[in-house]
Amino acid sequence: MAKFAFIGAGRMAGAMVHGLLRSGVCKAGGISVLGGAGVSAAKLAKETGARLAKDAADLLNGADVVVVACKPQQFLSLDRAYAELTKGKCILSVLAGTRIATLQKLFSGARNIVRAMPNTPGAVGQGITARCSLQSLSATDQSLIDSTLAGLGMIVDVPENKFDAVTAVSGSGPGFFFEYVAAYEDAAVALGFTPEQAKLLVRQTFVGSLSLLSASGETPENLRNQVTSPGGTTRAGLDALAAHKFREVVAAALIAAKNRSEELGK
C-alpha cells in the first residue's frame, strides 16, 4: 500500500489526509505529517491517526508521494535536506503561485513534480483541483496523484500557463461567492427578515438554483430567462444589476486575482 508524506499540516493538507482515509487508498499508518513551529501537525495526527514525523528524514522514510502543503512563504525556508531525501520520489505541490520551475530547484532529484490548485470546497469533497506536471505521469504516478486529490472532489488537467487564471476562477472563486452570499443576506435583513430567516432563504435559494442548473443541462442564461417576465420583479432586479455593471465587476475581480497570482509567482 502506498505511503504519503505531508510537508505542512494546514486545512488543505487536513482535507487531503481525510480524503485519503475516506477512500481507503491507505491506512492512517501510511500517512506521515510534519509541520512548522505550530501545533497543526500534532493536531492532524491526533485527529486522523497519521504518524507525526520527527524531522524531514523521518517524514520521507519510505514515502511514495511527497505532498508540499506548507504556506508558500515557508517553502523558501524548507530544510535543504529535502533535495537529497526526495530523490526518486513523486512531488505533489498545492502551493499557490509556486511554479514547477521553482519547485524543481529544491526537488531536483524527484522523479516527477506535479502542481495542483485545489479550492476550499475540497474540505467537504466538493472542490475542483487543477493539475499539471513537469513531465507526463506514469500510470502508477497518475494513480497515486489521483488518489491523493480525488478526496477533494473533481480533477481537471490544465497547462501551467493557465494556472494564474485557475487561481482566479476556482482558487479564489469561493471567496467571491461567499462575499456575494454575505451581501445577499445583509440585503435580505435590510428588507425586514431576521438574520436566521435571511440565512435560510438565501442559502437554500442558491443551493437549489445550482442544483437546478446542474440537473437541467440548461445554460444559466436560459434558466434566467425562464424566471424573467417583461416588466416583472426579476427584470427589475436584473436591470439594477446591469445599471451597476455587475458583469464588469465580476470580470474585474477575476482579472485582479489573476494579476496578483502572476505577481506572487515572480
User: Percentage of the chain with pLDDT > 70?
Assistant: 99
Query: Using an 8 Å Cβ cutoff, are 154 and 129 in contact?
Result: yes
Q: Which three cell numbers stand for residue 12?
A: 488543505
Asked whether residue 36 carries a pLDDT value surpassing 80, the answer given is: no
d(CA 51, CA 23): 18
**CATH class of the domain defined by 4-160:** alpha beta
Q: Give pairs for 61-65: CB < 8 Å, separation 24+.
A: 61/32, 62/3, 63/3, 63/4, 63/5, 63/32, 63/89, 64/2, 64/3, 64/4, 64/89, 64/90, 64/144, 65/2, 65/3, 65/4, 65/5, 65/89, 65/90, 65/91, 65/92, 65/144, 65/145, 65/148
3-state secondary structure at position 177? helix
Q: Where in the chain is the domain with CATH 3.40.50.720?
A: 4-160
Give the predicted TM-score (pTM) of the model: 0.87
Q: How many CB atoms lie within 10 A of CB 121?
A: 17
pLDDT reported for residue 25: 82
Q: Where in the chain is the domain with CATH 1.10.3730.10?
A: 171-264
Q: Could you tell me the CA-to-CA distances from 98 to 106, 118, 159, 160, 263 in Å, in that order?
A: 12, 13, 14, 11, 11
pLDDT reported for residue 73: 81
Q: Higher confidence at residue 12 or residue 114?
A: 114
Q: What is the pLDDT of residues 40-82, one digit of tens each?
A: 899 999 999 999 999 999 999 999 999 999 888 888 888 889 9
Q: What is the pLDDT of residues 148-171, one digit of tens each?
A: 999 899 999 999 999 999 999 999
Question: Do you know the residue count of the chain?
Answer: 266
Query: Using an 8 Å Cβ cutoff, are 34 and 53 in contact?
Result: yes
Query: Using an 8 Å Cβ cutoff, are 55 and 32 in contact?
Result: no
β-bridge pairing 112-117 and 127-133: antiparallel
d(CA 266, CA 106): 16
Query: Using an 8 Å Cβ cutoff, are 50 and 32 in contact?
Result: yes
Write out the H or E segment, with its range, that includes residue 157.
strand 153-157
**CATH class of the domain defined by 171-264:** mainly alpha
Strand partners, 67: 6, 92
Phi-psi region of 192 (alpha: psi -120 to 50; beta: other; left: phi over 0): left
Confidence of residue 259 (pLDDT cuts 50, 70, 90): very high
Query: Using an 8 Å Cβ cutoff, are 91 and 114 in contact?
Result: yes
Asked whether residue 38 carries a pLDDT value surpassing 70, the answer given is: no
d(CA 244, CA 231): 19
Mean pLDDT on 185-211: 98
Asked whether residue 37 carries a pLDDT value surpassing 70, the answer given is: no
